[in-house]
Amino acid sequence: MFDLLITDARLTDGREGQDIAVLGDRIAEVGAGLAARGAQARERIDAAGQLVSPPFVDAHFHMDATLSWGLPRVNRSGTLLEGIALWGELKPTLTADAIIERAMAYCDWAVARGLLAVRTHVDTCDPRLLAVEALLEVRRKVAPWLDLQLVAFPQDGILRYDPARDKPGCTDSAFDLLKKALDLGVDVVGGIPHFERTMDSGRESVRLLAEEAARRGLRVDMHCDETDDPLSRHIETLTHETQRLGLQGRVNGSHLTSMHSMDNYYVSKLIPLMAEAQVSATANPLINITIQGRHDTYPKRRGMTRVPELLAGGVEVAFGHDCVMDPWYSLGSADMLEVAHMGLHVAQMTGEAAMRQCFAAVTEAPARILGLEGYGVAPGCFADFVLLQARDPIEAIRLRAARLVVVRRGRVVATAPRQASTLALDGRPASVDFMIRRPG
């Protein structure tokens, strides 16, 4: 007797008519005809030929700032620098309770969207480490339904920020604060080399932070080269440090937008170096397309990193949400299909295989970058998956498909009704669901 049996599912690899049997918190069996051969289960869900995907994973987010839109004021210019300034205005007024309440509300949205793992950066440039304490509490609270991975993120730069500015007499350096956050249990080492005062201090910050990660055996995920400046090449240093310190497979460069504007010859050397060092990349399409190119008139650069070229060069690439209703971005609703949809358009990844890669960029690829255990719809994996109102990954992106059922560790944690519009047109169908149906 199984605990849960999903019947007649399509999987992301194209297999049809699959039944998924769950025992406890794990997938016990996947295959055609389990139900027909008499498999019994306490609970049964008919997927009716729709797609069952492993859950969405967000490789790059800022949960300490999310849902703070309009506090203390909105970002009038919509630029990155006004966003950073606005966050600086908001930070002194934050309370742990308010951060926890907003983050918990966001995690509710995430679960409803089938987004069950999030890597979030948490600002460590605060002598109180308020957001760090708050998000550690959130990580504990949401653990039964969502994997939250925390990155120690020095928003104002480990060499540029002086904690005594915010707390007179404070003797900690920004680097000390980041190390304290790691001591408290933050999972990953972050950084922001392009925000340090000079290229040299940016490079120095990468070296210091990578060495700290190597000492502690931690993963690294830096905001790297989030600029349109083609000479911002901190990804080169991050790749070199990864190789030098033996951190292969544990380092991610987030944003890498300068790569959009770099010299082609230089990029032809850089991408193979990244692949050799197994450095992954996370683009944030919704944010990159709205924040980059702001100093351009026309032509106006898209600014997103070179996703198809990185993939072709053997680099793992994820798409992150980055922001939802915060000082940098006023929109969003925890929908990783919206992220994939934008990434697909900005990168012009409209070929069939490329569209499937965009779906993988919000599921399998970030799962590997986060190092998630037991991820996937296969025997032995955790029973975490999403039944989508779509027949394949491409249709899921096209429709930003409804998450009909979300399962976490074998338990249904969210459901949503099918999406359809009722029509009142003479001689036409009574409803539409935006899917093509061809006879035969």
- Residue 172 DSSP symbol: -
Rounded CA separation 82/103 (Å): 23
Taking the complex as a whole, how short is the minimal distance between the CB of residue 285 and Fe ion, in angstroms? 13
Instruction: Enumerate the active-site residues.
Output: 226
Q: Is 202 exposed, middle or buried (0-12, 13-18, 19+ CB in 10 A)?
A: buried
Taking the complex as a whole, how short is the minimal distance between the CB of residue 282 and Fe ion, in angstroms? 9
Taking the complex as a whole, how short is the minimal distance between the CB of residue 122 and Fe ion, in angstroms? 11
| Dihedral sign, Cα of residue 265, residue 268, residue 269, residue 271 | positive
Taking the complex as a whole, how short is the minimal distance between the CB of residue 223 and Fe ion, in angstroms? 5
Residues 235 to 254 in contact with Fe ion, rule: CB under 5 A: none
Taking the complex as a whole, how short is the minimal distance between the CB of residue 226 and Fe ion, in angstroms? 7
The nearer residue to Fe ion, 243 or 330, going by C-beta atoms, is 330
The nearer residue to Fe ion, 55 or 191, going by C-beta atoms, is 191
The nearer residue to Fe ion, 53 or 254, going by C-beta atoms, is 254
**Could you say whether residue 126 binds Fe ion (CB under 5 A)?**
no
Binding span for Fe ion by CB under 5 A among 272-280, 316-324, 328-336, 377-385: 316-324
| Dihedral sign, Cα of residue 176, residue 181, residue 185, residue 191 | negative
Residue 175 identity:
F
CA atoms within 13 A of residue 314's CA, in its CB half-sphere: 10
Which residue's entry shows tokens 């036409």? 428
Beta-carbon contacts of residue 185 (< 8 Å; ≥ 6 apart):
136, 150
Which residue's entry shows tokens 């009722």? 422
Of 414, 433, 396, residue with least CA distance to 10: 396
Binding span for Fe ion by CB under 5 A among 137-145, 165-173, 314-322, 351-359: 314-322
The nearer residue to Fe ion, 17 or 78, going by C-beta atoms, is 78
- Two tokens, residue 22: 């769950």
The nearer residue to Fe ion, 318 or 407, going by C-beta atoms, is 318
Q: Which residue is nearest to Fe ion (CB)?
A: 322
Residues 317 to 356 in contact with Fe ion, rule: CB under 5 A: 322
The count of residues interacting with Fe ion (CB under 5 A) is: 1
Of 289, 285, 282, 315, residue with least CA distance to 119: 282
Taking the complex as a whole, how short is the minimal distance between the CB of residue 237 and Fe ion, in angstroms? 19
- Asked whether the bond before 144 is cis by omega within 30 degrees of 0, the reply is no
Rounded CA separation 378/359 (Å): 18
The nearer residue to Fe ion, 63 or 388, going by C-beta atoms, is 63
Residue ranges binding Fe ion (CB under 5 A): 322
